[in-house]
């Protein structure tokens, strides 16, 4: 089982003047500690459940490019890009550039988008949910065409591309893994069954989250059967928050508790656990995870 790290919070001691150095150190430390992947949200305002909208927020692909220069092996991805933020041809080109410059380490994380406030705040159109899913499907089709030998046009309901040239092609073979994020049973998981190499399902890291995750995977399996696609070909990941300390209490989880719960998620079908962790700027946070979680579960 693999463990990844998402960094969703950048309001660290030292402020913007030291943010670049701290972020680079976190990425390098995550790799040194054995995390399999390194993720940032693709948002422009901070989320209400994490902080104030005015808190520091890094643009996703710029941040990942910076992290790529500070690392050499860890996988890199957005968790996840809202399909509304960028024209799909430019988005695929951006993800391809990250993959090439990182030596083939990019995931292509994408979803239907949901954060209406930042759309309105920055003047980005926010169409109804039905249209957002239509746009997501066309974006997935455009990615498939741009990562192929077909440089011809693409004609969709929402997007029309005269040429789908993408040079250089990705280094990842056959292309950067397409990760679809979300938990909607009728649309998101159906699209994942049809197009994705990986799926990410938000899940609280507790027993209730485990049961919800198990149910979502059952739905994904049913969609795969209807699509005629092997369920085993899709990497199953979940995103949760890990509050880890050597001595657990009502708020913090002990290493024994975390390992026990991780084993249950693995038995439910998880291939990779991706965690937000508070105080990732403190070296001890990731070092504890490396010692007590990453090393022990690597052989599971």
For the stretch 114-165, pLDDT in tens is 999 999 999 999 999 999 999 999 999 999 999 999 999 999 999 999 999 9
Please enumerate in sequence order all residues whose Cβ is within 8 A of that of 107, keeping only pairs 6 or more positions apart, or say none: 37, 39, 75, 76, 77, 78, 176, 177, 178, 179, 198
Predicted local confidence at residue 213, as pLDDT: 98
Q: How much is the pLDDT for 196?
A: 98
Pairing of strands 178-181, 198-202: parallel
Residue 250: its pLDDT value, please? 83
Read off the pLDDT band of 300 (50, 70, 90).
confident
Contact present, 289 and 3 (Cβ < 8 Å): yes
Write down the mean pLDDT value for the chain: 97
Residue 249: predicted pLDDT:
86
Environment class of 124 (CB within 10 Å of its CB; exposed 0-12, middle 13-18, buried 19+): middle
Quick check: 257 pLDDT over 90? Answer: yes
As a whole number of angstroms, the distance between CA 216 and CA 269 comes to 11
Class of domain 2-297: alpha beta
So where are the chain's domains? Answer: 2-297
Cis peptide bond prior to 174, omega within 30° of 0: yes
Q: Is the pLDDT of residue 218 over 90?
A: yes
Cα R_g (the chain), whole angstroms:
19
Residue 248 confidence (pLDDT): 81
299 pLDDT higher than 90: no
Q: pLDDT by residue (tens digit) across 55-71?
A: 999 999 999 999 999 99
Task: State yes or no: pLDDT of 54 exceeds 90.
Answer: yes
Strand stretches in the chain, DSSP E: 2-7, 37-42, 75-82, 108-111, 154-155, 160-161, 178-181, 198-202, 235-241, 272-276
Does the bond joining 168 to the residue before it have cis omega, within 30 degrees of 0?
yes
Q: Compute the half-sphere exposure of residue 58: CA atoms within 13 Å on the CB side of its CA.
A: 27
Coil, strand or helix: which one is 35? coil
Q: How far apart are alpha carbons 257 and 259 in whole angstroms?
A: 6
Please classify residue 187 by burial: count the beta carbons closer than 10 Å to its beta carbon, then call 0-12 exposed, 13-18 middle and 19+ buried. Answer: middle
Residue 244 has pLDDT above 90, yes or no: yes
Closest C-alpha among 136, 93, 95 to residue 113: 136
* DSSP H or E segment with residue 192: helix 188-195
% of the chain exceeding 70 in pLDDT: 100
* pLDDT value, residue 76: 98
């Amino acid at each position: 089982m693999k463990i990844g790290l998402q960094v969703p919070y950048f309001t660290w001691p030292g402020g913007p003047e030291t943010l670049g150095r701290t972020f680079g150190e976190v990425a390098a430390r995550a790799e040194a500690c054995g995390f399999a992947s390194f993720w940032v949200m693709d948002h422009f305002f901070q989320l209400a459940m994490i902080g104030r909208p005015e808190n520091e927020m890094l643009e996703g692909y710029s941040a990942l490019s910076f992290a790529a220069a500070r690392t050499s092996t860890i996988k890199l991805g957005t968790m996840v890009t809202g399909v509304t933020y960028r024209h799909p041809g430019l988005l695929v080109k951006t993800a391809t550039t990250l993959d090439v410059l990182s030596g083939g380490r990019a995931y292509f994380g994408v979803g239907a988008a949901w954060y209406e406030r930042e759309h309105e705040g920055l003047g980005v159109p926010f169409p109804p949910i039905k249209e957002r899913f239509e746009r997501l499907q066309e974006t997935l089709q455009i990615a498939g065409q741009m990562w192929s030998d077909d440089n011809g046009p693409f004609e969709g309901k929402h997007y029309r591309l005269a040429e789908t040239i993408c040079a250089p092609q990705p280094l990842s073979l056959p292309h950067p893994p397409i990760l679809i994020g979300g938990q909607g049973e009728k649309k998101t998981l159906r699209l994942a069954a049809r197009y994705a190499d990986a799926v990410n399902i938000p899940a609280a890291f507790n027993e209730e989250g485990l049961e919800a995750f198990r149910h979502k995977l059952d739905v994904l399996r049913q969609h795969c059967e209807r699509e005629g696609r092997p369920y085993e070909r899709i990497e199953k990941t979940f995103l949760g928050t890990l509050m880890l300390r050597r001595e657990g209490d009502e708020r913090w989880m002990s290493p024994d508790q975390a390992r026990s719960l991780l084993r249950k998620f693995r038995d439910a079908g998880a291939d990779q656990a991706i965690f937000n962790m508070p105080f990732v700027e403190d070296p001890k946070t990731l070092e504890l995870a490396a010692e007590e979680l990453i090393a022990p579960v690597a052989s599971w």
